[in-house]
Chain A
Amino acid sequence: MTWRRNQLLGLASLAATSALGCIDPDARFDQFKDDCSSSDAGICKVRAALKCEAGATFPTAEQANGRYILAITTNLTPNAPMVLSVDFTATETADGLHISATGSTLAYWDRTTPVGESNSVIVQFDVPSSGEYAIHVPADPPIPADANPLIAAPVSADTTLSGTLCVYGNDVEYTSGIVSGEMFAPIKGNIDGEFGLHRADFESPTYSPSDDVLVGPDRRKTDIPPKR
């Protein structure tokens, strides 16, 4: 078969394609993206971090210190967050706060049992007096499988939690924001989502794994998956 015949065959094929119900997954993908751009729901909406409202002030170090429940939902687990207990130790700086956070991951099935190594979560970040912060959480160490509500595999993801820190009363009670980053394991891909940071102590007798684990600006409660 000559080169010219090959080309003619290809052209004939393409000509036929235009007349028939051809498959074009990329075009269908773009249609969805376009439809999504005019929607404000689900993965289509651009999530907003909780903004400080009137009456809020920037917290002192003492107001920020303490233990919190950090709940992170992503597009992969929108209704079942990974839950961590974190302890903030804040020091005041010339332009805000410097916060060291240590903590542990909690089991996805009861949000009470520490799993993985204690104090495996160690990050430090600065919060300027504007209150806007970005916490970079590196992929290592990974979140243990028992804290992963989706599948029985450790999660390794390079993520950034972005939000605004403010106080309405005596202490920082709640802050939320958006999650963005890249997951490396168990699957690769970009992730985004929301988080909530709620002042609560998982070792306290008053702690409620359903009421104290909150996500997003609307303080949304989430499902507690059964143990695998």
Chain B
Amino acid sequence: MRKTLAAVAAFSAVCSLVPSAQASGLLTARFGGEAGTPLTSNPTALYWNPAGMGASRGTHLYVDGLFAYRSFSYEHAKDPDEPAGSNGEVNQGTSSFGIFLAAPTLGVTTQLDLGNGPRAAALVLGAGLFAPFGGSAKIERESKGDPLYPGAIDGPGRWQNIEGETIGLYLSSGAAIDLPLAGDSADFAKRLRIGLSFSGVRTSVRTIRAKTGSFNADPAYEGRSILDVSGWHGAIGTGVQLQLGAFTLATSYQSQPGFGEQRLNGTAVNAFSQTDLQKKPSTSVDLIQTLPDVMRFGVGWRASERVELRLFGDYTRWSVFKTQCVVREGEPCNLDLDTGAAKPGPSSPITADMRRWKDAFGLRAGGSYFLDGEGRRELMFGLGWDGNAVPDSTLDSGEFDGDDLTAAVGTRLRISDSLYLGGTYTFYYTLPRDNTGKSIYTTLQSPSRAPDAGGKYTQNVHFLNVNLELVL
């Protein structure tokens, strides 16, 4: 088991993940491309909807590579929190980056007969590795530094993020049962599929950003703050598919990692002085946060031998993501969520990022056109909308989200008797956001106080999924 966990850790070292903010918030699941839905029956169903595995027959081995290019910009005007007398211009301007990212997915399912005949009940077992949560950002250094304020070379967004990534990696196993209902026949399928999955979730956060000991944006006293934490937690997924002839109805539920509040352990470096810059002192800390659970649904209609239509969506309970609280190892997060101040007590958080996210909803419509009647050549298309989880008040360049419009085209080709090659290109366009004057960070009390994050944000992302599926 330890070797497997080590492999998972190494696997996550591929500098994933998909950019933040796709499919709302940090939920970045795009594996499977246009076929990655709660209606799917390929091994990614283990994450999307474990019941979907029940529709597969034989043994399936699945490898998916998700490649993305994310471009992002943040334009910041004068910071109202700027201390008098300091050079506020170094906090103005634009932070931007373009970054290539990759995330792999592995999956396998195998079917066990529970009876005789082609329409007998079946049990399908599956295992897989998925990366549904996460985001990466790497702000470009400006071409010319300021001799008085050397930190300003990392751009005006450096107070929220200079480089950072959040990764949620799922090592999953599960089972689905496929049951014939009364009246099930070759002419009119009536099947009920129920699935359940268990996952070990490795969540990790690594970031560096500018910070001062006063939690403000004074460039004369800015230092650097590194956070590097990770942890393993459990999660479950469950789902149902009901097939009635040409229609398939599906719903699934993916629990919160850790079933609620999670504590990630690691180290923090807070260097706000010349001494600390040289010594780089490391403190053992915990990051305490709560990630959401996700509910998904979908409807599929095989309109004809050559046409299939799909409508599916998700509801993600991001409202539980209230803060990211960094405390000394083992201590609680004694934080007043209204003011951001530390509550009276023997311990106080080292720092806290106020999030106050809101639940988010996404909806996609898509379809497939089969160029032949045997399913050897399939064309896929899709359009979608992913709702925004981050309010203007806590929007920043470190954890960005917005309303996204998506368009996808893809294909799945049977290149031999047992091997399928698939690919999907998806374009994400995030509607520009402007929260100038709306950021609350400077109104919060320490340790939640932070420099103003108001400004204009733009983002778009190109995704390319390439996958191979071996059917035995």
Contacts and interface: CB of A to CB of B under 8 A. Distances in A.
A17 B13 contact: yes
Interface in A171-204: 180, 186-193
Interface stretch (A21-29, A59-67, A85-93, A101-109): A21-29
A80 B7 CA distance: 50
Given A29-B208, A151-B342, A191 B13 contact: no
Interface residues of B, number: 69
Given A79-B218, A153-B342, A25 B206 contact: yes
Given A1-B3, A25-B164, A20 B275 contact: no
A178 B168 CA distance: 45
A9 B150 contact: no
A118 interface: no
B458 to A, nearest CB: 18
B100 interface: yes
17 contacts: A1-B3, A1-B4, A20-B102, A22-B15, A25-B162, A25-B226, A29-B280, A38-B150, A75-B213, A75-B223, A76-B214, A78-B212, A78-B213, A151-B342, A152-B341, A190-B275, A223-B84
Given A25-B163, A25-B207, A28-B208, A74 B224 contact: no
Interface string B4-47: 10110011111100000000000000000000000000000000
A75 to B, nearest CB: 4
A74 B221 CA distance: 10
B138 A78 contact: no
A134 interface: no
A9 B11 contact: yes
A210 interface: no
Contacts of A150: 213-214, 446
A42 B219 contact: yes
A20 B15 contact: yes
A23 B273 contact: no
Interface string A9-39: 1101110110111111110110111011011
B281 interface: yes
Contacts of A186: 342, 348
A6 B3 contact: yes
A82 to B, nearest CB: 13
B213 A32 contact: no
B269 A32 contact: no
A151 B446 contact: yes
A189 B208 contact: no
B277 interface: yes
A194 to B, nearest CB: 12
A87 B226 CA distance: 42
A35 B99 contact: no
Q: Which among A6, A152, A191 has the greatest number of chain B C-beta atoms within 10 A?
A: A6
A153 B101 contact: no
B136 A180 contact: no
A39 B7 contact: no
A43 B13 contact: no
B222 interface: yes
Interface string B135-174: 0101001000101111101100000001111000000000
Given A6-B7, A32-B154, A21 B138 contact: yes
B339 to A, nearest CB: 11
A46 B221 CA distance: 13
A157 to B, nearest CB: 12
Given A22-B15, A25-B206, A74-B213, A44 B150 contact: yes
Nearest to A228: B445
Contacts of A76: 213-214, 272
Given A16-B15, A35-B150, A75-B221, A23 B136 contact: yes
Contacts of A9: 7, 10-11
B451 interface: no
Contacts of B212: 75, 78
A91 B116 CA distance: 104
Given A6-B7, A43-B221, A188 B150 contact: no
A41 interface: yes
Lowest 5 CB-CB distances: which A-B pairs, in order? A10-B10, A76-B213, A22-B15, A25-B208, A35-B150
A214 to B, nearest CB: 16
Interface string B79-104: 00001100000000000010111100
A158 B218 CA distance: 26
A6 B6 contact: yes
Nearest to A79: B83
Contacts of B226: 25-26, 29
B450 interface: no
Contact of B275 (A16, A23, A79, A192): A192
B274 A153 contact: no
Contact of B214 (A16, A25, A78, A189): A78
